[in-house]
A and B are shown apart, each in its own frame.
Chain A
Amino acid sequence: MLSFIIRRLLLVIPMALLVVTLTWVLIRAAPGSFYSSEKKLPPAIEANIKKKYGLDKPWYQQYGLMMGNILRLDFGDSLKYQGQSVNEIIKRHFPYSATIGLLAYILALILGLTAGIVAALKQNSAFDYGSMALAMLGLSVPNFVLGPILVLVFSLWLFIFPPARWGGLMALVLPVITLSMIYAAYIARLTRAGMLEVMRSDYIRTARAKGLAEWKVLLKHALRGGIVPVVSFTGPALASLLAGTVVVEKVFAIPGLGNIFIQAVLNRDEPLILGIVAFLSILIMIFNLAVDISYGFLDPRIRYE
């Protein structure tokens, strides 16, 4: 178990380096650069700036410099936000994304698990059909449509929640709901399918046969096996939520990391793009590792190699 974790953690480093390398190649493959979109600078000044960021060196030296930076977890300064390091920017904007992301995931878990379990237990009932149709609706309404409609109804017509910006618990409600819907829908479908499969298995029949109370069968035996698919969805979902869902940040004017990333991509702010990509890929891999470890606790049949 320990050696499994250590091996996987060691694998994170080369994988992250590869992801960053490919991203770098992609940025370099596109014609133009950060400076081609800004207004034309006098050549002497442009040369000076390029020197400061090491952009005057041949490409292999630039690549080496970048790799060195990443191994030291220091991504240098942003091109767009003058004088601010990439690390500062990530540190400043990540908490916003993380807060709404985490809250949205908790809400999605509560809604999705409840709906999924009840739907599975009462298969083919009105509740089953109703909640699954609702889940499908959740998967089908784009969040840039849902968000503004919620704002329209709850802020502009009913004046219950503030329409946008950061500040106070009330301001969190609408973005968190908007963000969580699609995940709640997905979790509900996964839970229902997982529970249906587990409830038909032999060990549930055994548990019932030995006379366990029905709630014990459900909570202690069925749920553990039934939520395995939910857990494998959790890793990538949580990482993408924490990284900030661009649309929700844009609609509600929240200064999160997702928006910063899109802006960086559009501005071709190379150090910032690479820094955020590295940060996110490490985050995703660590979440995936945590998910793989938790399988063992949920399903005793799964062994680590």
Chain B
Amino acid sequence: MKSKKLPDLKITASDIFVKYSDGKRRRKLKVMAENVEIVKGTSLWKDAWKRLLKNKLAVFGLIVMVIMVIAVSIGPAIIRWTTGFTADYIPSDVGNGELVSSFPPSWEHPMGTDEAGRDLLARVLQGGRISLMVGVISTIVSLIVGVSYGAIAGYLGGKIDNLMMRIVDIIYAIPYILVVIVLLSVFGGPNTPGWIAWLSEKFGGAGNQGLNQIFLLFFALGLVSWLTMARVVRGQILSLKNQEFVMAARATGVSTFGIIFKHLVPNALGPVIVYATLTVPSVMLTEAFLSFLGIGVQAPYASWGSLAADGIKNIAVYPWQLIFPGVTMALTLFSLNFLGDGLRDALDPQTRKF
């Protein structure tokens, strides 16, 4: 077989082998070439992942987020194990006639202590759990509501679409802070829905009113931040719904519900994921803002927002009480924003929007 040089051929594994229904792979094609390079098929997601890894800033964001999540999950336990401090531990000598309980950063307290003499590093890590959970849970809630709403409006079209989008316009004009307060007060206290109580019980013990309130806040924030998501999804669905695969699905008798959620939504996932990564920092900022106003996370629980709000009161004397929680939060948001930006560029390389 050394007579003629055969052309180089690029083929994928699926050109050579066929997977049969009994699960075995059988050869379907004989290849005659000198250099056969079997190219693995790259899916959209693998391709996007490769592009993401090329973006240095996005990789930086990813690494910071991974570190942050690990620090927040195991950090408090490590501090407790090494120094004995926890987020709500007040050293006894502080209570006994010590005049100052706010100590500047030292080896013992790397971030100093707060007003009550509690270790600030432990509080920042503990508060990070709530801040990151706000980001994740509220975004999931806003995803579920926004994607369903936008997809239904976009697919049904016509008058229903028009009505649904005008409703979105009107809700936009209502101050979200009002909605959050009403949701918190309507469903707070004795009216807490059972499943929220269940969730907070799983997280930190039964019958904990403060924790119930925090979980309620997660859902309230999700319920006020789905509007833009609905618009994004609707736009995607509008451009997808007239394509052949939808027509084919309709012809084979798939229900409207099936078409929307099994055929259209998975195809609109790229922009949804991108927008979701950008929603995470924005809900975290909103939570911090509400905590700053005293509506969000309440003592004895802490989030980065409420820690920063406490720090502002003492800014002139104990600046570290604002700077450490503030900088930790800013670093997290910074990384999340870069990650979101990188994801957008990776999933949608053609259009580099803002």
Contact = CB atoms under 8 A, between A and B. Distances in A.
Contact of B182 (A19, A26, A262): A26
A196 B351 CA distance: 10
Contacts of A281: 173
Interface stretch (B121-129, B239-247, B284-292): B284-292
A15 B173 contact: yes
B186 interface: yes
B316 interface: yes
Contacts of A251: 312
Contacts of B326: 141-142, 145, 149
Given A142-B326, A246-B293, A133 B173 contact: no
B185 A26 contact: no
B323 A142 contact: no
User: In this complex, which of A32, A140, A151, A196 has the most chain B Cβ atoms within 10 angstroms of its Cβ?
Assistant: A140
Contacts of B308: 142, 144-145
Contacts of A152: 315-316, 319
Contacts of A261: 175
25 contacts: A15-B173, A22-B174, A23-B178, A26-B174, A26-B182, A27-B178, A30-B182, A31-B185, A32-B185, A133-B57, A142-B330, A144-B289, A144-B292, A145-B322, A145-B329, A149-B322, A152-B316, A152-B319, A193-B352, A193-B353, A193-B354, A247-B292, A262-B177, A281-B173, A284-B173
Nearest to A21: B170
Given A149-B322, A193-B353, A136 B338 contact: yes
A149 B292 contact: no
Interface in A129-167: 133, 136-137, 139-142, 144-145, 148-149, 151-152, 156
A151 B330 contact: no
Interface in A156-212: 156, 186, 189-190, 192-194, 196-197
Given A144-B288, A148-B312, A22 B170 contact: yes
Interface string B325-338: 01101110110011
Interface size class of A (residues with CB under 8 A): 35 or more
B165 interface: no
A108 to B, nearest CB: 15
A184 to B, nearest CB: 14
Contacts of B169: 15
Contact of A30 (B186, B311, B354): B186
Interface string B135-168: 0000000000000000000000000000000000
- Interchain residue pairs A-B with the least CB separation, the first 10: A145-B326, A140-B333, A140-B334, A193-B354, A30-B185, A30-B182, A141-B330, A281-B173, A19-B173, A189-B354
Nearest to B351: A197
Interface in B264-315: 281, 285, 288-289, 292-293, 295, 305, 308-309, 311-312, 315
B170 A15 contact: yes
Contacts of A19: 170, 173-174
Contacts of A136: 334, 337-338, 341
Contacts of A141: 326, 330, 333
B334 A148 contact: no
Nearest to B289: A247
A29 interface: yes
A19 B171 CA distance: 7
A107 interface: no
A32 B185 CA distance: 9
A78 B174 CA distance: 20
A29 B186 CA distance: 7
Contacts of B341: 136
Contacts of A197: 352
Contacts of A186: 354
A229 interface: yes
Given A148-B322, A152-B319, A247-B289, A190 B354 contact: yes
Contact of A31 (B186, B295, B331): B186
Contacts of B281: 140
B293 to A, nearest CB: 6
A273 interface: yes
A251 B293 CA distance: 11
A144 B57 contact: no
A240 to B, nearest CB: 10
A149 B171 CA distance: 35
B303 to A, nearest CB: 12
B66 to A, nearest CB: 18
A251 B289 CA distance: 12
Contacts of B353: 193
B116 interface: no
B179 interface: yes
B133 interface: no
